[in-house]
Structure 1
Amino acid sequence: MESQLAFITICIASASSPGPGMLAVLSNSLNQNMQRTIPVILGISTGLLLASILSNSWLLTLVHTNALAYQVMTGLCSSYIIYLGCRAIYYSTSQALIESRSYGYKSGVLISLLNPKTIVFFGALFPLFVKSEQYFALQAALLTLELVVITLSIHLLLSLATEKVARFLKRYVVTINRLTGLLFIALGLSGLMLQV
């Protein structure tokens, strides 16, 4: 029971902490509305499911046992997050451009799947909560389901709250999107710096 509570607490903290997924949800909710943010939230959840499958299979086993493979994977993931930051800054030049650009389902999947935090979560922390190798797949599936439901719930609540205050923040939307872009770039650069 204590380990279950610890896992839920870690899931809540992870889903609530700033990261590419949260930034995408905030950005979409601010620039669009909750209805147009739901695809990115569902994409993030799908990406978490895929990351779980990969982390419990040979691919991430290879990445975790081969330092070079891990560095290449982290570099690619960090580069994608930097790309998202540059994209956010590029499209933040005017209200019209901001409203025409949003994150969708595919972006959500990639954000989640290529997020170094997700790789670390599943690769390093996740195995701590699997009791034994017996029924490993069932335990992994249940833990993944808990993480996805918690993340989905937090992102929906975040989107709803952001949509409610968005009308007050609309006059600052260009600045907010530039800051979002800079945060994406900082997250990506921190991932690259950890490799050095």
Structure 2
Amino acid sequence: MEEYLFYVTISCLTIASPGPGVLLTLTNSLTYGLKNALPGILGVALGMGGISIIAASSVGAIISSSAWMMNIVKLLGAAYLIYLGLKLLRSKPKLQNTLNDITHSESLPSVTARFRQVFFVSMLNPKPIVFFMALFPQFIKADQPFAPQFTLLASTFCTLVFLIHFVYGYITTSARQKISLGRGFLIINRVGGIVFICFSAALILSINVNLIINSV
């Protein structure tokens, strides 16, 4: 039980730390409200579930041990983050008068689009693969069946992802009441777009570092 609680603590600290998924949850919650941000929050959780399965398989071992495979995943992730960043920078929220108008605006993406956007951000982030491959073995006992232990750890992590992002969304949605509408959301989109592009730049720089190291 103590080991499990330690795992939960590490997971909570990791999930709560700023990253592309957290930023998308904050942006969607500010723009559309908690209810409309839920598909994205579910996308983050299920994306982490998919990553955990990959990490537990031979595919995860291949990706984490191959610099070129890791670079490909990073490049795809960087490209998608640039796309999201430019999309936010180009967006021009209308100066609506009420939060209700914003929530029901025609610009609200479909449920599928909101889910898919955050799901892909999670799946194209290579860091969780390495994280899971480093973390899971510390809490899986060799003398016990692997599947039940993996299922418990992975499902716990996904549940924590959903709950923590839900809390982020709730707090952010509450803060919307204090934000000047229209121009406030425009500033939020601009800042979010810049941060996404910075995340992608960090990924690209890490790719270059790996290539230099491998060529030496």
Flag whether TM exceeds 0.5 (same fold): yes
Residue 138 of structure 2 aligns with an amino acid whose one-letter code is: L
1:10 match: 10
1:154 match: 164
Q: Could you list the per-position Cα deviations for residues 29-72 of structure 1 after superposition, in whole angstroms to 9, with x for gaps in the alignment? A: 10011110111111111111111111111222211222211111
- For structure 1, which runs of at least 5 residues remain unmatched after alignment? none
- For structure 2, which runs of at least 5 residues remain unmatched after alignment? 96-101, 210-216
1:118 corresponds to 2:118: no
Identify the match of residue 204 of structure 2 among 175, 192, 195. Answer: 192
The equivalences for 1:30-179 within 5 A come to 30-91=30-91, 93-95=92-94, 100-102=107-109, 104-132=114-142, 134-171=144-181, 172-179=184-191
> Whose radius of gyration is greater, 1 or 2?
2
What is the SS of the residue equivalent to 1:104? helix
Deviation at 1:18, TM superposition (A): 0.8
Whole-angstrom distance in 2 between the partners of 1:132 and 1:89: 49
2:214 match: none
Identify the match of residue 183 of structure 1 among 184, 195, 201. Answer: 195
Deviation at 1:22, TM superposition (A): 0.7
Q: Could you list the per-position Cα deviations for residues 167-191 of structure 1 after superposition, in whole angstroms to 9, with x for gaps in the alignment? A: 2124311111111111111112112
TM-score of the superposed pair, with normalisation by structure 1: 0.89
Deviation at 1:107, TM superposition (A): 1.3
Q: 1:191 to 1:6 in 2, by over 3 A?
A: farther
Deviation at 1:101, TM superposition (A): 5.0
Q: How many residues align?
A: 195
Residue 95 of structure 1 aligns with an amino acid whose one-letter code is: K
What is the SS of the residue equivalent to 1:14? helix
TM-score of the superposed pair, with normalisation by structure 2: 0.82
What is the SS of the residue equivalent to 1:131? coil
Q: 1:88 to 1:66 in 2, by over 3 A?
A: same
Greater Cα offset, 17-26 or 66-75: 66-75
Identity of aligned residues (%): 32
Deviation at 1:133, TM superposition (A): 6.8
Deviation at 1:6, TM superposition (A): 2.4
Residue 45 of structure 2 aligns with an amino acid whose one-letter code is: S
